[in-house]
Amino acid sequence: MKNRRRLLWVYALSMLGSGMGFITQILVSGFWSTAFSQDVTFYSLNLAFYFLSLGIGTRWSRNLSDKPRVLFALVAALCLWCGLCISLLRLVIFQLNEATPLAILIVCVAGALAGCVLPLALRLFPEKSGASLGTLFFVDYLAAIVFSLVFTFGLLLPWGYTGSAVALSLGGLVVLAGTTAWALGQARWVAFALLLALLPWPLARGVRYWVHVPEKPGAPKVLVSQQSHYQKIIVTEFQDDQGHTQNALYLDGFPQFMSGAEQLYHFCLVNLPIAAEQSLGRAVRHVLVLGGGDGLVARNLLAFSSIEQIEMVELDPAMVELARTHPALTRHNENALQNPKVQVHLQDAFSWVRAQKQTYDLILIDLPSPKNLALARLFSVEFYRNVFALLRPDGFVAIQAGPYYAPPPARGISTITAGVQRAVEAAGLKSSIYLTSRDADAFVLGTRAEGFSMDSFSLNYGIQKDGRLSGVCQYDPTAVRPQVATNTLNTLPLATDAMRWYRQVHGMGFFFYRDFHGIFLPD
């Protein structure tokens, strides 16, 4: 009976140690990739270093004593390390705006500790207990799926990365204490494990409080700080230079709109393509909006009485719920998402458009800039072909196309905007680039309509230089587009171009971590 209990204890600690090591690298990868928008880059780097560290730990385990207390200590250290990993990252990013070396170090420590667990567990198998090497490997591999499912579907949404790390650490240390008390009856070990369980939460709370304290007087008031399944949503309130109260929306640290300036952006995205279609004597009745979860695109569309139906495809239900209910957002979107003309589909736009057959007079694509591979696929030739298949033959499409200007010392149109236009043209539409006058956000207008000339329309509409609307939107027929690679699903160069642009213009601090709040960091 004693041997049986000890065998089960060895299996349990092997599973717990392997799971804690694996979930630590998942936590670090997810947090770091969300904060710095480099999903594949860091996941690949992270996983490579984790497996290397597993190998190092396995080799180094020969130097460890074959004592149960050593296995206990290894697993306890892994549980504690898991609980502290996100707090350490938040602290260093807030101070330095960069944490790549620390992130890799955290993963390497977790891998090295986890690598020691399996060989030591093998050496601790009690004699004549019926122990199975295959079973030991199975429980180690099983740990990966169990911990991943618990984190992804049970912990991430309600508690975020920090809370999940603390919860997993606390749960692991309690399981460690319970199994040790049952199998070995070591009261001192149990007390030590329970004492360690008291550490991660207060330390995480202390770090969270510190990084959320504004560094500058007059920092914005945070109205919403919510980690959804897809992104970190921040809504702030602040006073502009004239003393007026304004709001801003940030997604994963990137500004999505500032209430004092968003009207120009949405006029260019919505009103201008409608005017282009009307210039050909055609009414816009059915509109498809991809993105636009804040409801501001729908608000502008509803101002046109000819529009009968607006279908909006938005991935994040949390964003839509905020846009429908939060006073700071409903004030700006004028309760557009409550209007019966607006139908919201909570789906991934990439999959949704492939399944549709209905055609639309106008399609508006208001998606975040292609700052990572997941977003860059929504600017690909393949995606645009599926989207344009839903466009009426003489309809129009307008696309948010990132920052218009290339960063100094380069001149002309940015490679982001040029890449979007190139993909649109490769997908079969004639296209033109225009921009907002105030913040230089770029748009691509596309159509198959015969007889439409952007040069003629822009002169008549007044958006060329010195035109009546040139203070709102601008079109420069002489602008030179740089040579760029086509953004296809096989290559996705736009993701690299976008991050290069942001780093050249803003540096690593473009998430406003030090200027305002550490609250922009993922939870």
Q: For residue 391, give the H/E element and its range.
A: strand 391-403
Residue reference for tokens 């591999």: 141
Contact 295, 329 (CB under 8 A): yes
| DSSP per-residue letters across 420-460 | HHHHHHHTT-EEEEEEETTT-EEEEEEE--TT--HHHHHHH
Q: At 139, which amino acid appears?
A: V
For residues 270 and 343, give the distance between their C-alpha atoms in angstroms, rounded to a whole number: 17
7: left (phi over 0), alpha (psi -120 to 50) or beta: alpha
Q: For residue 312, give the H/E element and its range.
A: strand 309-313
Q: Classify residue 341 by burial, with Cβ atoms within 10 Å: 0-12, 13-18, 19+.
A: middle
For residues 117 and 206, give the distance between their C-alpha atoms in angstroms, rounded to a whole number: 31
Strand 221-227: give its sheet, edge to edge: 221-227, 232-239, 245-251, 254-258
Among the listed residues 39, 140, 294, 366, the single catalytic one is 366
Q: Is 348 a catalytic residue?
A: no
CA geometry: angle at 239 spanning 235 and 240, to 5°? 110
CA 491 from centre of chain: 20
Q: Minimal CA–CA distance to 286: which of 357, 382, 380?
A: 357
For residues 123 and 348, give the distance between their C-alpha atoms in angstroms, rounded to a whole number: 49
| DSSP per-residue letters across 225-260 | EEE-SS-EEEEEEEE-TTS-EEEEEEETTEEEEETT
Percent of residues in the chain assigned helix, strand, coil, to nearest 5: 55, 15, 30
Q: Which residues is 431 bridged to in the sheet?
A: 446
Mind telling me the catalytic residues?
366
